[in-house]
Structure 1
Amino acid sequence: MIDIRFGPQVCGELTGGATREWLVPDGLGGYAMGTVSGLRTRRYHGLLVVAGHTPASRNVGLVSLDPAVVLPSGARLRLGAHEWSSGDVDPRGFELLERFDLTDGLPRWRWRIGDVVIERELAMAYGRSCVAVVHRLVSGGPVRLDLSAACTWRDAHGERRADGPAPRVEPVDGGAVVEGAFRLAGPDWTPEGQWWLGVHHREEAARGLHPDDDVWHAGRFSGALERPGDTVSVLAWAGDLAATPPPAEEVVAAARRRNRQVVARAEPADAVEATLALAADAFVVRTAAGPDVVAGYPWFGAWSRDTMTSYEGLFLCANRADEGRELLRAYAATLSEGMLANTADTGRVEYNTVDAALWFLHAVSRHVTVTGDTDLGDELLPALRGIVDAYLAGTRYGIAVDPADGLVTQGGTPGTALTWMDARVYGVPVTPRTGKPVEINALWVNGLAGLAELTELAGGDAAELWRLHARATASFAARFPSPVGWLHDVVDAPAPAYPLGGAPFHDDDLLRPNQLLAWSLPYAPLEPDEPTLRRVAAGLLTPLGPRSLAPDQPGYTGRHRGGPAERDGGYHQGTVWPWLLGPYVDAARRAKLPVDDLFVGVEAHLTEYGLGSVSETADGAAPHAATGCPFQAWSVAEVLRARRVRR
């Protein structure tokens, strides 16, 4: 994997160490997460964040485990870091960091106090809500190490305040149980019991959300580090509190072995692919219903569109087809009226996308093509045919195939945003894209061809599907090319001066990246030509992928910053989306344009924001600073998939 390591100039400055984040997932949707400096900058940061009944319903448990070193002289040096609502940062243990590294996906800190060097390693027990934190004396000593446990039990999306009841902390052998929800275990536990008031999260402040929280100092562990090699370790776990996990050092060693196995199974061609393969593993989780995909950390849960868009990169490129097969079967069972269920982060099951089912068609087709698993294709054929039949007959939200041209139209219901550009501000869609969006119809053409091939593999008659495909392809070629030199983003859209569903209609020629799918999909409706693709690249392409709107277009927003309304207003109005690098690379490759240099920026990005991973979004304006989730499934999946196609 690529070398991710920082020295004191990054670790010791908050402009560097507090803006780079690490993630250690537990395979269930929970995680440990924080920054290089140790400063918690998000309310989502913590050493034990526990997934609930869905991957998005997470609770923060163990907030931090703050080390303090007591030297033989009696001097006590605190190695933790907190920012307070007063603006103070205290303690400032990051100033004693001489190195941070991410090795085999696991973070390691190294503090130096004169000749005393202490390292901390952290891992989670895969498949269990359990974190292990190991502190090791590397040189110097003897010293005593105190570890102060700051705790809470709250929804990861919120705060807990001292004006409510204090967390219930019950003593047990070797530690304590907090709120009956998670257990702490380590050496020489001393209960404390005190609110730490006004813990400040600077990233939440920057996002226009409530930035302050109160946490409970439950107590501290303590142990002697007499000679190099000695350790002081702490375990924290949720679930079955009576089932003691393996020793902390064994948890770390097991996590390291597993991560190496994940990388080896993916058969990476180079260090970047190895890093992306391990990053992809973070999003594949096991729930009570089977495998699923977390769309992004730290705040997203499972979203069917993201899951299916990411499918090839996360499962097929990582040689996880058996898990993928299980996932596809489970998602097929959620189909209703030709639409795939979307499990919202609230836990509700909703049917509110026009493209998730079409991406599902694509995912199944790619699975069978890549693996030769025709049995799965045969099994899912009725469900896939049901999607096409529902679109032909018409389904929710005005989604239907227009009998006049064989193309898919959508969005006949006020207030809906059914494509991936689904942001709303105060309930009003920013980009409703009512009519016939370009990528929806590219996916429709692609899906019809994929389904026709699966039908023929099963020995069926696909003549009608091929007829539908030919008609939609011809209509696409006639309708979507625009006089301005690229493809329309939407055709047959209601004119802005008329109410939704009114007339006359117009064709929207804003320069957006959705048209890339018209050239990139396996059964794309068009072949790309070099001049058109170069015009698209000139307006959209950045080092981290295409913008969602070109800078010279009406409504362009160059910074994805500010409060929720401001951020949502710019979400698809110029913000960069790294996942679109995959479709762009495919289109460029088909147009015989060079593609290897397209990955340079995103590869460098692997050490800039979410360490070893790819962010959800970035500013459209230079220097294209990363925004959104630091760890995003379809960003990783599409970059990994596009790189592997080069082989």
Structure 2
Amino acid sequence: MGAMLPIEFGPRVCGHLESGVDREWLVPDGLGGYAMGTVSGLRTRRYHGLLVIAGETPAARRLGLVSLDPELILPSGATVRLGAHEWRSGDVDPRGFELLERFDLVDGLPRWRWRIGDLVLERDLALVHGRSALAVRHRLVSGGPARLGLAAVVTWRDGHGERGAAGPPPQVEPAAGGAVVEDAFRLAGPDWAPQGQWWHGVYHRQEAARGLTPEEDLWYAGRFTGALDRPGDSVSVLAWAGDLADEPPPADELIEAARRRNRRVVAAGKPTDEVAATLTLAADAFVVRTSAGPDVVAGYPWFGAWSRDTMIAYEGLFLSTGRADEGRDLLRAYAGALSDGMLANTADTGRPEYNTTDGTLWFLHAVARHVAVAEDTDLGAELLPALRAVLLGHLRTDPRAAAGGGTAAFRGARYGIGVDPADGLLTQGCAGEALTWMDARVDGEPVTQRAGKPVEVNALWINGLAAVAELADLLGQDAGPLPAARDRARAAFRRRFPAPAGWLYDVVDAPPPVYPRGAAARHDDDLLRPNQLLAWSLPHAPLDPDPATLRRLADALLTPLGPRSLAPGSPGYVERHRGGPAERDSGYHQGTVWPWLIGPYADACRRAGLPTDETFAGLTAHLSEFGLGSVSETADAAAPHDGTGTPFQAWSVAELLRVRPS
């Protein structure tokens, strides 16, 4: 089956401001750039725009074309404004969404349909995959005649920032059929008339809710105008970056080509139902091409590439969608970037940051799954030396420091990451660092530091030892010390992690809360978190799942959108992922729901013989509630579990696609 879920809304959603702005659409360009906005057409984020252009990395984006605001000029001389903007005064003007009778995703691309009496106007848009190029088409469906004006509103700024009228306006130079803005992107369409005016005080309500600067000024660069004399007539505009002399093909061709490509992407994944087809196309948004080869955008609109997210999402994004060839290139490139046995966590900050304990272990898992699912022993043989070096690097100890005990005795990797000679478990952590996936900070201090021996890190460690030893055996090579290290760590895991509370400790040998200063005594942290799911879900999990324990976890943690990050009633539990940066980061892993954890949960349940078919209904419904056709990064811990974080998140999509029953 290739048909996707029908995602369509009538006037009750389109014309109701709160409903229309809560639902966002995304069109990616395959490079990390995108077009993005809301069903209503109102820009609610600084990130919304029609041409957002990726830079040297997917995270280095700049906003160019902000909007093309339609205005119909009727034979009577009356004008009907179909755009939508919110202003610092609180006014929303114009209110074109009140004339919307329908919004659809057509082959994954947005379509708006306005009705003014018997006149019906449709807007379609598409981006060229692999190029920063946009086509926007307005077509008269019925009624007419009319003339259509399109106000080109532009800026040129960092995607995370804002630009104001206190500085110089964007430089706009004439070009054939339109204009070039800041020597960065070009606009072309019918009957261009330059304008040149600041629009002051445009307001972004989502940024206000996130405690960030909600206002900016935009530049009204000019206006395109075309005739819509009879049904079927259209007025189109192109916008593109890169080679500004290389004008893209006509809008009709680009839009149809984009739809054909989306259908091919879906078909290549061989989906078995509409939900799988929708998730297959959603997964495509995150796979991008950079100068170094394929990579993964962790989430839109503000993330770039993060190795942990990439490796967790790898199987769903590449192996579940028929993209093993691209995945092979990605894994090879990441292996080449290992440094002292570690993957860089991200380079979004402008330089590689090697500050993750688990990202590298997820890399071992991704390679093992690739070899198993794609039956690609050639890649396994190529990468085996690198995988073995990672594990041996974590096993190494410094004999000169061993007499002193503690983490200083472990040579291992950075940040005190290494195997404890006392029990073979992996320990990690140092002052000011949060090295697991629960990595939020407030004022530079970790919220959930989890120094010591985290449960999922050690499950991944044992899984990695077993997977690489198995690969070596498959290739007829000596696994060396890996099997013994696996057996020792697994025995220690089974001895150390079961807690009297009836579940697994989240961290054993954790420092006291005043770490690293203060008492030397260590403790075992039994807060009920979902991290322990990996102890039962991984292919080489250290424990056999216990149905009673999983039911207890489900009772405390499971929501319609996935598991909470902390059980209600626990110290520090937060119901709503809301507020400014510090407030949001404080609750990021303190109850907030993470849909990606539906993967480990479903795997653990299946290994325990528990049914999962009814586990995914909430997430399926979520596909039309927030980021359309996709899955959000996070959600509130308390009902109704509103989506939060990025509306389009790679590992959320990938894990749901991977574990949904086919």
Normalised by the size of structure 2, how large is the TM-score? 0.97
In the alignment, which residue of structure 2 is the partner of 1:437? 454
- Separation in 1, partners of 2:250, 2:553: 55
1:110 equivalent to 2:113? Answer yes
In the alignment, which residue of structure 2 is the partner of 1:56? 59
In the alignment, which residue of structure 1 is the partner of 2:498? 481
In the alignment, which residue of structure 2 is the partner of 1:616? 633
Asked if 1 retains the 8 angstrom alpha-carbon contact of 2:431 and 2:516, the reply is no
1:404 equivalent to 2:422? Answer yes
Deviation at 1:423, TM superposition (A): 0.3
Name the SS of the counterpart of 1:342 in structure 2: coil
Deviation at 1:502, TM superposition (A): 4.7
In the alignment, which residue of structure 2 is the partner of 1:495? 512
User: What is the aligned residue count?
Assistant: 644
- Separation in 1, partners of 2:35, 2:597: 28
Alignment of 1:504-519 (within 5 A): 504-519=521-536
- Separation in 2, partners of 1:254, 1:419: 42
1:175 equivalent to 2:178? Answer yes
Match of 2:546 among 521, 529, 532: 529
Residue type of the alignment partner of 2:573: Y
Deviation at 1:461, TM superposition (A): 1.5
Name the SS of the counterpart of 2:136 in structure 1: strand
- Deviations along 1:66-98, one digit per CA (max 9) or x if unpaired, are 000011111000000000011000000000000
Deviation at 1:134, TM superposition (A): 0.4
Name the SS of the counterpart of 1:350 in structure 2: coil
Asked if 1 retains the 8 angstrom alpha-carbon contact of 2:103 and 2:110, the reply is yes
Alignment of 1:97-136 (within 5 A): 97-136=100-139
1:190 equivalent to 2:207? Answer no
In the alignment, which residue of structure 2 is the partner of 1:566? 583
1:311 equivalent to 2:328? Answer no
In the alignment, which residue of structure 1 is the partner of 2:408? none
Match of 1:465 among 473, 482, 488: 482
Deviation at 1:346, TM superposition (A): 2.0
Asked if 2 retains the 8 angstrom alpha-carbon contact of 1:495 and 1:506, the reply is yes
- Separation in 1, partners of 2:338, 2:479: 22
Deviation at 1:347, TM superposition (A): 2.3
- Separation in 1, partners of 2:190, 2:293: 37
In the alignment, which residue of structure 1 is the partner of 2:351? 348
In the alignment, which residue of structure 2 is the partner of 1:251? 254
Asked if 2 retains the 8 angstrom alpha-carbon contact of 1:146 and 1:221, the reply is yes
Deviation at 1:119, TM superposition (A): 0.1
Deviation at 1:462, TM superposition (A): 2.2
- Separation in 2, partners of 1:103, 1:543: 27
In the alignment, which residue of structure 1 is the partner of 2:566? 549
Identity of aligned residues (%): 74
Deviation at 1:498, TM superposition (A): 5.7
In the alignment, which residue of structure 2 is the partner of 1:386? 389
In the alignment, which residue of structure 2 is the partner of 1:426? 443
Deviation at 1:136, TM superposition (A): 0.3
Deviation at 1:453, TM superposition (A): 1.1
Deviation at 1:464, TM superposition (A): 2.5
Asked if 2 retains the 8 angstrom alpha-carbon contact of 1:105 and 1:278, the reply is yes
In the alignment, which residue of structure 2 is the partner of 1:626? 643
Asked if 2 retains the 8 angstrom alpha-carbon contact of 1:494 and 1:500, the reply is no
Residue type of the alignment partner of 1:195: W
Asked if 2 retains the 8 angstrom alpha-carbon contact of 1:117 and 1:137, the reply is yes
Deviation at 1:345, TM superposition (A): 1.7
Asked if 2 retains the 8 angstrom alpha-carbon contact of 1:494 and 1:501, the reply is no
Alignment of 1:131-210 (within 5 A): 131-210=134-213
Match of 1:230 among 229, 233, 249: 233
Match of 1:321 among 300, 320, 324: 324
In the alignment, which residue of structure 1 is the partner of 2:407? none
- Separation in 1, partners of 2:250, 2:496: 64
Q: Greater CA deviation, 250-259 or 589-598?
A: 589-598
Residue type of the alignment partner of 1:314: L
- Separation in 1, partners of 2:170, 2:512: 56
In the alignment, which residue of structure 2 is the partner of 1:68? 71
Asked if 1 retains the 8 angstrom alpha-carbon contact of 2:633 and 2:647, the reply is yes
Name the SS of the counterpart of 2:638 in structure 1: coil
Match of 1:448 among 440, 451, 465: 465
Match of 1:261 among 225, 248, 264: 264
- Separation in 2, partners of 1:181, 1:502: 58
- Separation in 1, partners of 2:350, 2:186: 26
Name the SS of the counterpart of 1:164 in structure 2: coil
Residue type of the alignment partner of 1:581: I
- Separation in 2, partners of 1:559, 1:443: 30
Deviation at 1:459, TM superposition (A): 1.2
Alignment of 1:589-604 (within 5 A): 589-604=606-621
Cα–Cα, structure 1 residues 500 and 373, in superposed 2: closer, same or farther, change >3 Å? farther
1:241 equivalent to 2:259? Answer no
Name the SS of the counterpart of 2:481 in structure 1: helix
- Deviations along 1:25-73, one digit per CA (max 9) or x if unpaired, are 0000000000000000000000000000000010000000000001111
Asked if 1 retains the 8 angstrom alpha-carbon contact of 2:431 and 2:515, the reply is no
- Separation in 1, partners of 2:149, 2:107: 27
Name the SS of the counterpart of 1:343 in structure 2: coil
Residue type of the alignment partner of 2:44: T
Deviation at 1:511, TM superposition (A): 0.3
Deviation at 1:449, TM superposition (A): 0.8
Deviation at 1:284, TM superposition (A): 0.1
Name the SS of the counterpart of 2:315 in structure 1: helix
Asked if 2 retains the 8 angstrom alpha-carbon contact of 1:57 and 1:346, the reply is no
- Deviations along 1:234-263, one digit per CA (max 9) or x if unpaired, are 000011101010111111000000000000
- Separation in 2, partners of 1:264, 1:251: 20
Deviation at 1:463, TM superposition (A): 5.4
In the alignment, which residue of structure 2 is the partner of 1:15? 18
Cα–Cα, structure 1 residues 502 and 329, in superposed 2: closer, same or farther, change >3 Å? farther
- Deviations along 1:192-212, one digit per CA (max 9) or x if unpaired, are 000000000000000000000
Asked if 1 retains the 8 angstrom alpha-carbon contact of 2:121 and 2:139, the reply is yes
Deviation at 1:154, TM superposition (A): 0.2
- Deviations along 1:548-596, one digit per CA (max 9) or x if unpaired, are 0001111100100000000000000000000000000110111111101
Q: Greater CA deviation, 528-537 or 488-497?
A: 488-497
Residue type of the alignment partner of 1:451: V
In the alignment, which residue of structure 2 is the partner of 1:335? 338
Deviation at 1:497, TM superposition (A): 5.4
Name the SS of the counterpart of 1:187 in structure 2: coil
- Separation in 2, partners of 1:463, 1:306: 30
- Gapped regions of structure 1 (runs ≥ 5): none
Cα–Cα, structure 1 residues 498 and 18, in superposed 2: closer, same or farther, change >3 Å? closer
- Separation in 1, partners of 2:599, 2:515: 36
- Deviations along 1:89-141, one digit per CA (max 9) or x if unpaired, are 00000000000001111000000000000000010000000110000000001
Q: Greater CA deviation, 87-96 or 347-356?
A: 347-356
Question: Alpha carbon RMSD of aligned pairs, Å?
Answer: 0.8
In the alignment, which residue of structure 1 is the partner of 2:402? none
Deviation at 1:501, TM superposition (A): 8.0
- Deviations along 1:268-326, one digit per CA (max 9) or x if unpaired, are 01000000000000000000000000000000000000000100000000010000000
